[in-house]
Structure 1
C-alpha cells in the first residue's frame, strides 16, 4: 500500500498559494463599497475572501516560496494589502464624492441637521447624502460593478503577480489626482440645486426687505425645503447619468492601478 508523504516545501507552497491571494482580496473587501459596509460582519467578509481565494488559487501563477512568517513574507503581505486597498479605495472615492454633493445640497436646503448613519462609511451624513448613496449603490449593483471588480481582481494576479513588487509612486499619484476629479464631479452634481436655492434665498431676502413684518423663518424654511426636493426630482435623470459616469471613470483607473 502506497503512503502519502508530505514535505515541508509542499506544505509551504500550498500555504502561500492561498495566503497571498487571501490577503489581497480581504484588503479590497475591507474598503470597497457594499462589501466594506459596517453592517456586514467581519466574519462574513473574511469568509468571502477565503472562498474567493480558494476558488482562484488554482488559476493563479505559482507564487514565490516565501515564508509568511519571515521578513520577506511580511513585505509581500504589506504589498498585497496596498494593492487590494488601492483597488477598493478608488470606488470609495466615488461614493465619498457623492456624499459630499449630497451634503452641499442638504446645507443649501436647510436639512444639514437631518442626518443618519451612512451604511457605506459608517459615519453620520445628511439624509440627502444617504439618498444619493443609495442610488449610487443600486446603480453599482445594477451594472454588475461588484462582478467587474472581482474580475479585475482576478486579472490583477496575472498582470501584477505576487512577489517583491508593489504599487509605485506613480500609481499612488493617479489615485490622489482621481480624488480631485471626484471633488470636481461632486461640485457638478450639487451645482444645479445649490445655484437654484441660492437664487431662492436671494428672492426671499428681497421679499423680507420689502415687507419686514414677514417672518422669513416661518415662510422661507418650508419654501427652500420644497424647492430643494423639486430640484432633486427634476435633476434625477442627469444625476443618475452623472453617478454612472463616475463609476465608469473609476474602473479604468482600477485597471491602471492593477496594471491590466
Structure 2
C-alpha cells in the first residue's frame, strides 16, 4: 500500500508541475488576450478563465513538457521562458483590439464626435471607439473566439517550445509586422469617416468663401454630427465583419500571418 501511495504521490506531483508550467504561459497570455484580458473584467474572473484554459491546453501539450518536470522539480529558466512566450502571444493578438480603438479614435476626430458622451471604464476613449471595441469583442466571442484561442495556445508550443527563450529576431519581426498591420487595419476601418470629414471640410470652406457673412460653422456642425452618426450606422457592421475576418485569420495561425 505504501508503494501505491508513493506512486500516486509522484504522479500527483508531476501532474501539478505540468499544470503549473502550462498555467505560466496561459496566465501571462490571459493578461493581454482579446476579450478575456480586458481590464473591465474582474481579476478573479480572469483567473478562473486562465485555469479553465490550462485544463484544456494541458492534455494536448503534456508530452512536450514532460522532460521539464520529469525530475519532480522545475528549472528556474522555465519560469522566465513560459511567461515570455505567453506575453508574446498575448501582445501580438492584443494588437487587433488596439486597431479597433485606434480606428474609433480616428473616426471620432474626423467627424467631431470625439467628445460626445465620453469614454468608459478603463482606458478613456471616444464613444465610437468604445462601441467598436466592445461590439467587435462581443462578435468574436459569440463566433467561437475561445475555441480558436485554445488552439493558438496549443500551437504556441510548436512555435515556441517550452523551456526555451523565444528568438529575439523572430519576435522583433513578428512585432513590427503586427504593429504595421494593426495600423493599416485601423485606418482601413476609419477610412469612410476620414473621407467624409475631408469632403465636409472642403465643402464648408467653399461655402464660407462664397458667403463670408454666413456662420457656416454653426450651420454645418449639426450636419456633421448627424452625418457622422448615420455613417456609423452604415459602416460599423461591415467594418466589424472585416475586423473579425482578420482576427480569425490571425488567431488561426498567429505565427505565420505576418511573416
Matched, 1:18 2:19: yes
Matched, 1:117 2:120: yes
CA–CA distance in 1 between the matches of 2:164 and 2:247? 31
CA–CA distance in 2 between the matches of 1:48 and 1:237? 29
Could you say which residue in structure 2 is the equivalent of 1:64? Answer: 68
Q: How does 1:50-199 map to 2 (within 5 A)?
A: 50-59=51-60, 60-61=62-63, 62-65=66-69, 67-68=73-74, 72-73=75-76, 75-114=77-116, 115-117=118-120, 122-157=122-157, 160-199=160-199
Q: How does 1:30-49 map to 2 (within 5 A)?
A: 30-49=31-50
CA–CA distance in 1 between the matches of 2:8 and 2:242? 56
How far did 1:179 drift? Answer: 1.0
How far did 1:235 drift? Answer: 2.5
Could you say which residue in structure 1 is the equivalent of 2:243? Answer: 243
Matched, 1:211 2:211: yes
Q: Does the CA-based 8 Å contact 1:63-1:162 persist in structure 2?
A: no
Equivalences, count: 250
Paired residue secondary structure (1:53): helix
How far did 1:124 drift? Answer: 0.4
CA–CA distance in 2 between the matches of 1:225 and 1:203? 15
Q: Does the CA-based 8 Å contact 1:80-1:166 persist in structure 2?
A: no
CA–CA distance in 1 between the matches of 2:110 and 2:160? 45
TM-score (norm 1): 0.84
Structure 2, unmatched stretches of 5+, are none
Paired residue secondary structure (1:40): coil
